[in-house]
Amino acid sequence: MRIVRAPGRVNLIGEHTDYNDGFVFPMAIEPEVKIVCRSRKDDIIRIASTVYSGEFVEFSVQKKIERGKPAWGNYVRGVAAELIAAGIPLSGMDALICNSLPVGSGLSSSAAIEVSTARAILLLAGLEIEANRLALICQKAEQEYAQVPCGIMDQMIVAAGRAGHAMMLDCRDFNKQFVPINSKELRIVIVNSMVKHDLGDSQYAIRRRQCEEGVAILKRDHPEITALRDVSLEQVEAAKDRMSEIVYRRCRHVVSENTRVIEMAQKLLLQRYDDAGDLMARSHNSLRDDYEVSCVELDFLVEEAMKVKGVYGARMTGGGFGGSIVILAQPRALEAISEHLHKTYTAKFDRQPAVFATTATAGASVVE
């Protein structure tokens, strides 16, 4: 019997930039997925989950692996199928997925399931592959089998995170800059709104198509542009009259967010936490107004968090339409944050938020 873990992630800044070849700034967090697994003598992979009691996924690695029910099993099926497509021989496995990472909270439980499943399968086969390749295989699994047109951020930080550091990731060439997060000076607080969301719905794909439409318009004057990563705000403004209002605002968010990510890494390295918090506020406003992926619960949590002394900044994190916010705060502010948000959020929405502080942890690994 072997055990593999994969962390969740929180993105400090840089939302909806990854699938535009841009910059993101995530860190791996303490809540995680663990997989307990053992080899089988046949070619069957059979997996159950503590989150979905009574359900299990079963398929043969010697036959074409199809999408199916239950829906969460498509993350597992996709990983196995993409490992096989990559030329990696697989054998049978029994496994149980155990979560301390809440599903649908914007903390990338899907990528944690994908990466931990891949590591478990490889472990039992006596194989290892490097983190970038593992992340790409898991990304393709989510795109093809869960049918979510995701970027590379989630899988990369889950596979390659470094303890005590956030990762500024270039989603085009996978260059990584690890930025220390000093837990004595700075704590990361995550607040789950307890509003569920599904990134497989149409809204995620619509946003991606709108970005692609903007790129097509910008390419007419600048043929060298291949993604919004290559675009300046001046170019977006110059093309405004040729874009619909919605496409213009989508492009404005992505281009300005890329700049904020780069600035955020610099501010944290210089320990200029007030400036870093201001960048988070600007990011949230852009996601709310230009990209339109926030919701009233997240907006309320951000606004109330900023009223607590010792909070530098707050913003929604993840794909949006529910999920969580992330707060940058002084360690002494943790109790006040929890008390204030539990009181105000419950009074407003009759729902208790989940509030917890976390440190930056390492990427996926074998536990035993």
Catalytic positions? 154
Distance CA 98, CA 367 (A): 13
Name the strands in the sheet holding 44-49, side by side, starting at the edge strand that comes first in the sequence: 56-60, 44-49, 93-99, 26-39, 2-11, 365-366
Peptide bond into 89 cis (omega under 30): no
CA dihedral 193, 194, 199, 201 (to 10 degrees): -110
Angle at 203 between CA 156 and CA 134, to 5 degrees: 15
Name the strands in the sheet holding 23-24, side by side, starting at the edge strand that comes first in the sequence: 23-24, 165-170, 176-180
Angle at 359 between CA 155 and CA 157, to 5 degrees: 10
Of the candidates 290, 288, 350, 343, the one whose C-alpha atom is nearest the C-alpha of residue 314 is: 288
Please say whether the beta carbons of 56 and 47 come within 8 A: yes
Angle, helices 334-349 vs 296-305, to 10°: value is: 140
Of the candidates 188, 169, 179, 264, the one whose C-alpha atom is nearest the C-alpha of residue 30 is: 188
Please say whether the beta carbons of 144 and 12 come within 8 A: no
Q: In degrees rounded to 5, what are phi and psi of residue 103?
A: -80, 140
